[in-house]
Amino acid sequence: MKKLLPLTLSLILGMGTSIAIAAETSPSVPIIDVLQRLDQAGYSQIHNIQYKDGIYKVEAYGSQGQKIKFNVNPKNMAIPAIENKGKPYLTMLQVARNLRGAGYSRIEKIEFDDKYYEIKAYDANNKQVALEVNSTTGVITKE
């Protein structure tokens, strides 16, 4: 019986660790909230945003058109300052809102590629879909 106690405790502790790890795989802050904060900070031209390893990895464009890479921690939502606040295209936030309004949910990835946003999300039937959104018109097409 004394030999079973340490084994039982290690199994219980091991299970708790795997549950904690599994819980960290989904973001505590939805991507649309991060996009809203980025938009408020002046980042209207987001090239790519993806939740990975507990943080949002962001690629955006600076005031001279240079690509800037940075991380956003969902716990404190700290976002670096930007000089450029121009909005020549639909922002990722606008695209995410349009997708939500069109019945898409759980947006997992949004990437800006020249004239289109490439999206991975779930449709109204909870089926994962790959979409393409025109960056100036907002027209949604399936890839």
The answer to whether the pTM exceeds 0.75 is no
Neighbours of 36 (CB within 10 A): 16
Domain ranges of the chain: 26-142
d(CA 113, CA 143): 14
d(CA 143, CA 140): 10
Digit-by-digit pLDDT tens for the chain (143 residues) are: 555 444 444 444 444 433 334 445 677 889 999 999 888 887 778 889 999 989 999 998 765 556 788 999 988 988 877 654 444 578 889 899 999 999 998 899 999 876 789 999 999 999 999 999 988 788 898 86
